A and B are shown apart, each in its own frame.
Chain A
Amino acid sequence: MGEPDAKLDNERRAFIKKVLNGTIAGSLLLVIPMPMGAATPEVPEQIPGIRGKKWDMFNQRFAFIVDITRCIGCGSCCVADRREFNVPEGYYRTWVERYLKDFNDQVYVDSPNGGFDGYQSPRTDIDVEVRDTFFVPKLCNMCKEPPCVQVCPVGATFKTPDGFILVDRERCVGCAYCIQACPYSSRYLDPVTRTAEKCTWCYHRVRKGLLPICVNVCPTSARKFGDLNDKNSEVYKLLHEHEVLTVLKKDMGTYPALYYKGLRREVV
């Protein structure tokens, strides 16, 4: 009497085993993340020749070019920059200025909220006939002779051998000498940590082969960034062609690595 029942039991057991195995395998596939979605997803390299080899600290040359003839003042760069670094409100690592020139050669500059909200309306506070108007994005100039580094009393801000000027948040005492020394006003004192902060040209992104975030989001490619050691890069070509590229406050002898294309002489 027990014979057929035992057989049935065995079959049932095997069936349940199969179902359970299938369920577990299926749910594991859903739970375990896909390999492409690991901590650093497989995103295409934006600056060629950085990934897959050791970072050569002493042989890097980067340049940043801002083409102000292409800037439309949308403020994408400002928005992305604030999100990338969680910059507190009222402080700017990068910002966009609006220049306006009238027929008496008077220059008016404004930058409501650093261009973060974009420029939705023309200037209403002045009543002049506009002769010329344009946007100028500003950021750290990454000087070859940085005044901010020279004045730091504790060695908290420094120029790396690969040409970036960075801030060591652990060493900074928040004396704000560097903020006064910077001729381009690109530094601020973080209200929370009380240490100096500045644009780093997205050093953390560049080291991983990605473009700085403001360059990445710029819809008109007014901002260009690239490796000067790479002869095929856009910045190399621009710097070696017959383009008029200027730097801000040349007479201060800071030798910026940030160049402007189509810059008017009114811009300071």
Chain B
Amino acid sequence: MKSSFNSHIKRIVLGLVVFAVLGFVGKIVLTPKSFGKYGPYRADAIDEEANQEIRHMTNASCLSCHPYEANIHLTGLHKTISCEFCHGPYADHVKAGKVYGKLPVKKREEIKVLCLRCHNKAIQARPGEVIKTVIMPEHLEKQKVKVSHTCDQCHHVHAPLKYINRAKKIVGIKEKS
């Protein structure tokens, strides 16, 4: 019989067609949307990354609500320091335009540790033209103050030379230049 002579070919062809259709449907179902828009990846992931929450703002955003601090901070040598480094990120403080949490203010011994992160002369890798460094007990002894003093007792943390320059002006010491 002729029909039974070709039936194995028909079965193979049918099998291949079913396999191709299943494969095609599977590919459509399993391939994520936006895959291949720019390359072999999901293009929507770019937007997801771009829309992540911004937790830190800039100094300008902090100082716009804190004019008193702005007045001091922007006039001192510490104007390049970020508010959020010492006080914590903006997102922990303001949410949707309203104050949401209180940011910590460093006190006493914490301040000393914070200052010496940058100003410790014992770390020799700090170029003198970039930052002024001190050796700690030695600096206090040289200035004839108690060694238990913390940095902020002489240096205003936002403008380190604020009180020192004022005192010099009152006493009448001329700056060596």
Name which residue of chain A comes closest to B35, CB basis: A155
Chain B contacts for A75, CB-based, 8 A:
117
Which listed residue, B45, B50, B54, B123, touches A119 by the CB 8 Å rule?
B123
- Among the stretches A6-14, A138-146, A166-174, the one at the interface with B is A166-174
Whether B56 and A207, one on each chain, are in contact in the complex, defined by CB atoms closer than 8 angstroms, is: no
Spot the interface stretch: A183-191, A217-225, A236-244, A251-259.
A217-225
The interface residues of chain A lying within 8 Å CB-to-CB of B57 are 41, 43, 210
Query: Taking each of B32, B40, B120, which has the highest tally of chain A beta carbons within 10 Å of its own beta carbon?
Result: B120
The interface bits of chain B over 20-51 (1 if a CB of A lies within 8 angstroms of the residue's CB, else 0) are 00000000000010010011111001101111
A37 in contact with B117 (CB, 8 Å): no
C-alpha gap A170/B126 in the complex (Å): 43
- Check B58–A79 contact: CB distance below 8 A: no
Contact B41 A155 (CB under 8 A): yes
Q: Tell me the A69-93 residues at the B interface (CB within 8 Å).
A: 69-70, 72-76, 79-80, 83-85
Does residue B104 face the partner (Cβ distance < 8 Å to A)? no
Name B's interface SS: loop
Q: Are B131 and A98 in contact (CB under 8 A)?
A: no
* Interface residue total, chain B, C-beta cutoff 8 A: 48
Closest residue of chain A to B113 (Cβ to Cβ) is A120
> Counting CB contacts under 8 A, is B52 at the interface?
yes
Assess the A83–B89 pair: CB atoms within 8 A: yes
Determine the chain A residues whose CB is within 8 A of the CB of B58 once the complex forms.
43-44, 46, 210, 216
**Of A57, A120, A155, which one neighbours B116 at CB under 8 angstroms?**
A120
Contact with B along A139-178 (1 / 0, CB 8 A): 0000000000000000111111100001111110000000
Interface segment, one of B7-15, B77-85, B150-158, B163-171: B77-85
CA distance A208 to B55 in the complex (A): 13
Taking a contact as CB atoms under 8 Å apart, the answer to whether A130 and B124 are in contact is yes
Known: A158-B40, A207-B50, A217-B82. A38 touches B96 (CB 8 A): yes
Residue A135 at the chain B interface, CB threshold 8 Å: yes
A70 and B129 CA atoms in complex are apart in Å by 9
Q: Contacts A41-B57, A43-B61, A171-B45; is A204 near B124 (CB within 8 Å)?
A: no
* Cross-chain contact of A168 among B42, B81, B89, B98 (Cβ < 8 A): B42
Q: Residue B1 at the A interface, CB < 8 A?
A: no
Asked whether A220 and B97 contact (CB < 8 A) given A80-B82, A158-B39, A204-B50, the answer is no
In angstroms, Cα B55 to Cα A119, docked, is 25
Q: How many residues of A contact B (CB 8 A)?
A: 61
What is the bound-complex CA distance between A134 and B140, given in angstroms?
A: 27
A161: chain B residues within 8 A (beta carbon): 38-39
Question: What is the minimal beta-carbon distance from A128 to any residue of chain B, in angstroms?
Answer: 12
Could you tell me the distance between the alpha carbons of A72 and B118 in the complex, rounded to whole angstroms?
Answer: 6
CA distance A208 to B145 in the complex (A): 49
**Would you give 19 A-B contacts (Cβ < 8 Å), ordered by A?**
A33-B97, A34-B97, A57-B38, A70-B127, A74-B118, A80-B84, A83-B56, A84-B54, A84-B55, A84-B56, A120-B120, A133-B124, A168-B41, A168-B42, A203-B50, A210-B57, A217-B82, A219-B82, A219-B85
Other A-B contacts than A57-B38, A80-B82, A160-B38, 20 sampled, CB-CB below 8 A, are A33-B97, A41-B97, A43-B60, A69-B127, A70-B130, A76-B85, A80-B89, A119-B123, A121-B123, A159-B39, A166-B46, A167-B45, A169-B45, A171-B42, A171-B45, A204-B53, A204-B54, A205-B54, A207-B50, A216-B58
A interface list, Cβ under 8 A from B: 33-34, 36-41, 43-44, 46, 57, 69-70, 72-76, 79-80, 83-85, 98-99, 118-122, 130, 133-135, 155-161, 166-171, 200, 203-205, 207-208, 210, 213, 216-217, 219-221
